[in-house]
Amino acid sequence: MCIRDSGRPVVAVGTTSARALESLVWLAPASTGAARAGADLGHLDQWSGREPRDVSLADAATSLLEATDATTFSASTSLCITPDGKWRFRAVDRLVTNFHHPDSTLLSLVAAFVGEEPAKDLYAHALAGGYRFLSYGDACYLSRAGGPSKKAAAPSPKAAAASSPKAASSSASSASSPASAASARKKRVLLHSCCAPCSGAMIEEMVETLDADVTVFFYNPNIHPRSEYELRKRENERYAAKLGIAFVDGDYDPDEWYRRARGLEYEPERGGRCTACFDVRMERTALYAHEWGFDAIATTNATSRWKDEAQVDGSGLRAAAKYDGLEYMYQDWKTDAMTERKYVINAEHAFYKQEYCGCSYSLRDNNFHRAKEGKPPIKPATADVYSDPRLDSEEESPDVVADFFERAPAFSEEVRAMYQARRRGRAGHKDNW
């Protein structure tokens, strides 16, 4: 109340705080002296607060304090704030928050707070500067549209760079960013990347030969365990920063991937589980591309000898087809020249050399395969790196790959039988897992 009376702005730290303060305006008595039974203010439903009503936070708080002798209050809210022109902020003048994921109610609140166009400009600036998104990312300080400053405050590049090392390197190269004038003359491609080793030659081809404006999108909820996921992501970030191109962290969502893979646990490599895995990643890539105005999507999975290109391209085409004007960019990314170049780049940058596709089932089946050959099990997130282009290429030669997939169905059936036998053997026991 003292802050309000002094004329200083009310600053909400986080969108949850903003929703709570705005809900209070509608939950508290509307006028001084209004009665309220007890200290329970009730519940505010999702679409409340859109009818015309001249009430401020100060008025609501004053009436609440005058209406009851209670010193604490409780309430619940489902309030959803959207940029539909029907919501007017009455409590919050400033907002400190991080950068949110597309298709979220958090982003909707931000757009309502600063205005839709300023919100788009804000996020274009963040993408161009390589800011970190989501809960542990960079933050911005926003002014309410129509408030004291009349204009949304863009985040400070210096402030963001201080908390994000990659922001300092990428913000200086705005010519290749999604928000630049140059990008308007180029095809803007959102490239889903599964790992740095698969991305090098593909990014080079897109930028130098196809003259595309590339943004790397890392969304791989299939990767297990978390340490393996973080290592692969860091390698992607490192390479993007080296090239001066934007990198977007799509966050880690393994629960969604396991949901999509349910019932496919014993599918062999290149089977139905792999199709589901490509689908979940390309669907998220296409959604992000649609939300942020990209022209096309692509995936580095298409460069790997271990992937079935028909599966990969099918997922990409299906995902892109959901959005008008969005193209799935596919061509032969496995030419001899590109493959050779890939291993040279991998060695030059000493990329982490993973030994399995990424998911827990791939790790399981690969270790089963290695055990039958008398080899030690794979240790995720190890320090092994690419170092010799010729030897690295030979380890993933067409003959080696073909031999693995010739035996893959049998491996999967053996694994299925082994686990089913374990379940039968433990039937009726308290420790039956």
List the domains of the chain with CATH numbers.
12-85 (no CATH), 93-172 (3.40.1780.10), 174-433 (3.40.50.620)
Q: What is the pLDDT of residue 147?
A: 55
Q: What is the pLDDT of residue 2?
A: 53
Are 76 and 19 a contacting pair, CB within 8 Å?
no
Q: What is the pLDDT of residue 269?
A: 83
Low-confidence ranges of the chain (pLDDT < 70): 1-7, 29-39, 52-55, 67-71, 146-185, 423-433
219: Cβ contacts below 8 Å, ≥ 6 apart: 192, 250, 251, 281, 284, 285, 288
Q: What is the pLDDT of residue 158?
A: 34
Q: What is the pLDDT of residue 317?
A: 95
Token duo for residue 345: 């780049």
The answer to pTM > 0.85 is: no
Q: What is the pLDDT of residue 299?
A: 97
Q: What percent of the chain has pLDDT over 70?
A: 82
Tens of pLDDT along 21-60?
888 887 775 433 444 445 677 788 888 777 766 667 777 7
C-alpha closest to that of 22 among 51, 48, 52: 48
Q: What is the pLDDT of residue 7?
A: 64
Q: What is the pLDDT of residue 261?
A: 93
